[in-house]
Amino acid sequence: MVEDKVCFVISPIGSSESATRERADHVFDCVIEEALEDFDYTPKRADHIAEPGIITNDVIEYIVESPLVIADLTDSNANVFYELAIRHAYEKPTIQIIEEGEDIPFDLASTRTISFDHSDVESVAEAKSKIVEQIESINNESETFENPITVAEDIRDLKSGSRQERSVAELIENISGLRSEMRSIEKKVNDPK
């Protein structure tokens, strides 16, 4: 059973003593845990689950039942994207983070994602501040949270409606495409490698 104030962290974890684990632990301790302090959330990651049972079932329960999830998209980890898709299907609050300089996959490019350099003190402080802002926004929102799945469902519903609704659906798709292109251009301008 998932505790009331758990923030489940979906993250690449890596094997113990690997560079991936070292980064995951640093981000967990110095970014996520510190950002959650004022909200009384207890962060928990898959490797922190000590309950008996099948680990996959336990992880899915935390993904579905936790009041908040933070997903670290760093390294384009397949498990992270699988778990994030499950969370999106349940339309529950999720905050996305990624290591600065990494590409956000196309399907998630229109979703607000906090980019930061985990080895830069100022960047970490800014990331914590942005996480706090997003939590405050989530706390003030209604029960519906937009993500790629909910947007696709809304567009599908509009496409099956009147001519006006179909036009709105086409407009939404075009705007979404423009957002993705703008983020790509911003990334190239900010990192001209």
Backbone angles phi, psi at 45, to 5 degrees: -120, 160
Question: How far is Cα 103 from Cα 51, in angstroms, rounded to an integer?
Answer: 35
Query: In the chain, what percentage of residues exceed pLDDT 90?
Result: 53
Predicted confidence at residue 54, as pLDDT, reads: 59
Tell which residue, 185, 21, 120, has the closest CA to residue 11.
Answer: 21
Predicted confidence at residue 48, as pLDDT, reads: 87
Here the tokens at position 157 are: 């519903």
Residue with tokens 């983020």: 183
Q: pTM higher than 0.85 for the full model?
A: no
Mean pLDDT by 10 residues, the chain (193 residues): 86 94 97 95 89 75 95 96 93 94 82 93 97 92 64 72 83 77 75 63
Looking at beta carbons, which pairs linking 169-173 to residues 24 or more positions away fall under 8 Å? Answer: none
